[in-house]
Structure 1
Amino acid sequence: MIELLVISRLLEYPDAALWQHQQELHDALAEGEALNLQQAAQLKDFIAALCGRDLLDAQASYSELFDRGRATSLLLFEHVHGESRDRGQAMVNLMGQYEQAGMEIDSRELPDHLPLYLEYLSQRPAAEARGGLQDVAPILALLSARLKQRESDYAVLFDVLLGLSESNVAVDSVSKQIADEARDDTPQALDAVWEEEQVKFIADQGCGESEITSHQRRFAGAVAPQYLNIGGE
């Protein structure tokens, strides 16, 4: 599904290459067959709106949206395991899937970063890719609901992914469940998290241990000679 690769690129930190190669994204959407007319139009409108913005403004908005707090993190296991030790084994298992598929990733890349996971699925047969989306459908619905609360255009990308998954997870239902959820990206919330982690760090040090937690980072992959360059579907 080349459509998954397009969405993967759109969910990465926006850079000048995206602006320069936006026509390739439109061409790829025209080539793909997985989207209905409404979904294709939504993605085209998103690309036009994003690339119509000033690059620095788009980058600042992206960082505010995905790099502050954990509620809208693009790290999948953040929403499943948090900082528990189970996350490490889940990372290893996912890395094994990538290796079995012949996909190599940079040592700095976190395997559960959604754009990377979508790139992996884009190289799998359509049925397998759809199953992979179904595996993370509850997370996609949660992110869509939270992004709609924040009136972000990025929500449409998650709605399209849910449509491609053919999952029965309903965003409207999730939206109702999180209606009273407190945001974690406010200065007060971020300060509280920082203070909590400082206390935890000091406590761990006092016990002779030093546990380094994994924090969000931006996926920084090199741009291939062709912006959309895959070896599969």
Structure 2
Amino acid sequence: MEILKVLSRLLDYPTEALYEHGIDIAEIIANDADLSESNKASLLAFVDQRFSDSLLDWQADYDGLFERGRSLSLLIYEHIHGESRDRGQAMVNLLEQYRAAGLDIGVRELPDYIPLFLEFVSTQGSENGKGWLEDIAPILALLQVRLEKRGSNYSAAFAALVALSEAAIDVQALREQVKDEKRDDTKKALDKVWEEEAVTFGGDAVNGGCPSQVNRPSETQRRDQDVPISFIDNSSAQAAEQAIRS
């Protein structure tokens, strides 16, 4: 699904390279066969507003939403496992899935970073792609309603992802669930988190670091093509796995 590549870019940190292609992105959205008309309209309104603003304003808004607090984290397993040890193992398992599909990532983003995950899912064929999205649909829907509550049009991207997953999600129930949530991005809330955090020493790949620059698998490497798994450089794999476990 090509639209997943577009949504991956729109949910990643806005860059000058992205900013130059607003017209192209709008055209892809308008002509996409998988999106409903209502999802298209919401996404096109998002694109029109974001690409009309200055890039600096867009970047500042992005930082304010996704880089402060945990309720809008773009790391999938932070919503599932928090800071537990299970999170590290889940990321190792996801990295194995990427490798099995012939995809390799660098060292800037973690494997469960949603834009990176969407980049992977976009290579897996339509039916498999829906399956991968369905697996994380509850998280996507939760992010959608939290963004709606903050009045952010980034909610349009997550609403589109939930719709593409075709998962049976009671979005209205989630809206009721988050209605009384206290924001975790205020100065007081952030100070409290710092006070409660345990002091750790040394590297911590689970909480920060792995590039959204990826080498996408070719058409013949898709999971739905039933192709034997190809081997990759073992030293690179061991280094990446050690970085996550450390």
TM (norm. structure 2) is: 0.82
In percent, how many aligned pairs have the same letter?
45
Q: What does the per-residue CA deviation read over 1:139-197, in whole Å, with 9 as the maximum and x for residues that have no partner?
A: 01110111111110100111111111111112211110121111111100000000111
- Alpha-carbon distance, 1:88 to partner: 0.6
Aligned-residue CA RMSD in angstroms? 2.3
Matched, 1:73 2:73: yes
User: 1:161 — aligned with what?
Assistant: 161
- Alpha-carbon distance, 1:216 to partner: 5.5
Size of the aligned set, in residue pairs, is 220
Matched, 1:187 2:180: no
Distance 2:146 2:30 in 1: 30
The residue identity in structure 2 corresponding to 1:172 is: Q
- Alpha-carbon distance, 1:22 to partner: 1.8
Distance 2:17 2:213 in 1: 10
User: 2:23 — aligned with what?
Assistant: 23
The residue identity in structure 2 corresponding to 1:79 is: H
Q: What does the per-residue CA deviation read over 1:46-96, in whole Å, with 9 as the maximum and x for residues that have no partner?
A: 111111111111101100000000000000000000110000110011001
User: 1:100 — aligned with what?
Assistant: 100
Distance 1:230 1:135 in 2: 21
Give structure 1 regions of 4+ aligned residues with deviation exceeding 3 angstroms: 210-217, 219-224, 229-233
Distance 1:135 1:175 in 2: 20
Matched, 1:131 2:117: no
Counterparts in 2 of 1:91 and 1:220: CA distance versus 1, 3 Å: closer
Structure 1: tracts of 5 or more residues without a match? none
Distance 1:56 1:151 in 2: 20
Matches within 5 A, 1:213-224: 214-215=206-207, 221=212
Q: What does the per-residue CA deviation read over 1:82-141, in whole Å, with 9 as the maximum and x for residues that have no partner?
A: 110000110011001111111111122210000000111111111110011110011011
Matches within 5 A, 1:1-233: 1-197=1-197, 200-201=198-199, 212=204, 214-215=206-207, 221=212, 231-232=218-219
TM (norm. structure 1) is: 0.87
Distance 2:175 2:40 in 1: 24
Q: Given that residues 2 and 29 in structure 1 are in contact (C-alpha distance below 8 angstroms), is that contact kept between their aligned partners in structure 2?
A: no
Counterparts in 2 of 1:211 and 1:222: CA distance versus 1, 3 Å: closer
Q: Match of 2:124, SS?
A: coil
Counterparts in 2 of 1:137 and 1:222: CA distance versus 1, 3 Å: closer
